[in-house]
A and B are shown apart, each in its own frame.
Chain A
Amino acid sequence: MSVRIYRQKWKDASLLLPIILFLGVFFLIPLIGLLVQSVTQPQLGLTNFAELLATSTYLKVLGNTFLVATLVTIFAVLLGFPLAWCITLFPKGWGRFLLNVVLLSMWTSLLARTYSWLVLLQSSGVLNKILMGLGIIDQPLPLVHNLAGVIIGMTYIMIPFIVLPLQASMSAIDPMVLQAASICGASSRTVFFKVFLPLCKSGIFSGSLMVFVMSLGYYVTPALLGGVSNMMLPEFIVQQVQNFLNWGIASASASILIAVTLVLFYLYLKVQTESPTSSNTKD
């Protein structure tokens, strides 16, 4: 009996074989090969890591990377939450329209979207011209080529990645539960904070983890919208690989990035016992 179950399990798992092979050959092996360079180039040992962690420039780049990723995650959640809620509340009319807008923006070329922000935000850009035309400001606001530009541009790009998982967990919430809460005398405030928000937790978690990790690895947007003092790790890695052929340092930085991501993922799995899709209230 148990042998049969065991065998069935293996049969099911064998469906994974093609993807495991594919990832192993085309992702895992090259990745390991690359990471090994962090301890072999230019000589064997941990010199690259020592250099990375001892140089204030590199530390600043690391700090910048985490600062940007954190800020982007916070803003993406703050903006994405109401948006996801709207989409869930009106699944037919406005909601569907908004969802399409979110999806459309996701499918548009990243470079085009980043350059559009440049057109909007630069000091001779649309936004500053309008504000100055209305007499609200008399000096153009520095909205781009600095931290503000990076945060605005990246938050916008990350919004779909927070809205989609959030919307999934919100639409899985049975409206009856909320109704039951208010029938039992909870104020709408209490319903939101004590019932609705906890039920969205898994969506918020998975969405923000995705945004945070993706932000850590973003290259184009910060490179175009940021100033140079906002250099993030990916740009730094590209610079080391392409311009300076300094692969030891580059792969050491990449290792740090991957290690941080793995730690975050582990913490996420720890904190998040239920899977994002199981937040329905039927059981």
Chain B
Amino acid sequence: MNKTLKSSAIALTLTMASMIANANDTMSFVSWGGSTQEAQQEAWAIPFSAISNIKVIQDGPTDYGKLKAMVESGNVQWDLVDVEADFAYRAAAEGLLEPLDFSIIDTTDIDPRFVSDYGIGSFYFSFVLAYNKNSLSSEPSSWEALFDLDTYPGKRALYKWPSPGVLEMALIADGVEPENLYPLDLDRAFAKLDTIKDNIIWWGGGAQSQQLLASGEASMGMFWNGRIFSLQEDGLPVGVNWKENLVMSDFLVIPKGAKNKDAAMKFLAYSTSAQGQADFASLTAYSPINKKSEELIDSGLNAYLPTSYTSDQVSLDYQYWAKNGQEISARWNTWLLK
């Protein structure tokens, strides 16, 4: 009796000690802040910590300059970082990332568009044509409408940074077939944008884009679908057209020399799992990259998810941008300041 008690006490102590040891495992997760990161915390970090006993510390916002500085100085504070897909490819080429361990991360159900050796999609979203219903008398039905200032008056809100999206949109509006987009015909894209240049208001972040559209400052523009979803949830008079929505994605990457690499791999595995992706999608209306997630998502959300508009999708070529981004940005700045 006494012996049993004693051994169970030892067992208990041992279990507790190992639990404490596990609970001391921490890793940092870095994303863009705002509602996206909150959703990532709720859908991924909290359940993951509960299962694995690894504490996830949230940090941010993502800053490519900081990431590079950390890797180069050998003092890497970040373990898992949410970055844009084209950056993931570029950073991999520049040797800033850890190769992923596919014995921990299961990619069988993940859409191959979002898998690479150094990063896996954290979610995907679409650039969509959205408009303020109060500012327009008729509803625009394609990207061409964005360039038709007579029928659809008002300012256009476009994404400010030279990254995949705006140039492709201009080319499609100019009649280029989606499969012939790459390599980008920059002259043609900028010439098309020239026709509305004076009517463009540039947005640099999600909140700013929402403000522009909701206030009617811009009558239409190109937006991240999740931001439009949250405007619609708030009951604002905002419409979306999904024709030729442009697919862009964020990737999760592990900076080279990350101190908690193994924990980060496990967290990456959880966040790209069917459940993790489904939970995140339910909170944000960004699409899961895991094909098994769809059945776990409430069907009411379908109307807002890019996954429901796959036949209308145009995939942006991240690898093309990773290679040519620098050159395009120089042209982009020159054009903007002209």
Contacts and interface: CB of A to CB of B under 8 A. Distances in A.
Interface string B147-180: 0000000010000111100000000000000000
Contacts of B162: 243
B63 interface: yes
Contacts of A224: 208
Contact of B217 (A56, A124, A236): A124
Contacts of B90: 245
Contact of B202 (A125, A228, A243, A245): A228
A227 interface: yes
B300 interface: no
A61 B337 contact: yes
| Chain A: number of interface residues, binned into ranges | 20 to 34
Contacts of A246: 326
Interface stretch (B238-246, B262-270, B328-336): B328-336
Contacts of B202: 145, 227-228
Contacts of B338: 229
Given A118-B211, A124-B217, A228-B202, A242 B65 contact: yes
B215 A122 contact: yes
Contacts of A118: 211
Contacts of B201: 145, 227
Contacts of A242: 63-65
A229 B336 contact: yes
Given A124-B216, A228-B160, A228-B202, A245 B64 contact: yes
Main secondary structure, interface of A, reads helix
A115 B63 CA distance: 23
Contact of B337 (A229, A239, A241, A243): A229
A247 B67 CA distance: 13
A23 B163 CA distance: 38
A52 B211 CA distance: 35
Nearest to B87: A243
A223 interface: yes
Contacts of B208: 224
A65 to B, nearest CB: 12
Given A122-B217, A124-B216, A245 B336 contact: no
Given A122-B217, A224-B208, A228-B202, A243 B336 contact: no
A123 B160 CA distance: 20
Contacts of A201: none
Contacts of A231: 333, 336-337
A198 to B, nearest CB: 42
Interface of B: 63-65, 68, 90, 94, 155, 160-163, 201-202, 204, 208, 211, 215-217, 325-326, 329-330, 333-334, 336-338
8 contacts: A56-B334, A124-B215, A228-B160, A228-B202, A228-B336, A229-B336, A243-B161, A245-B65
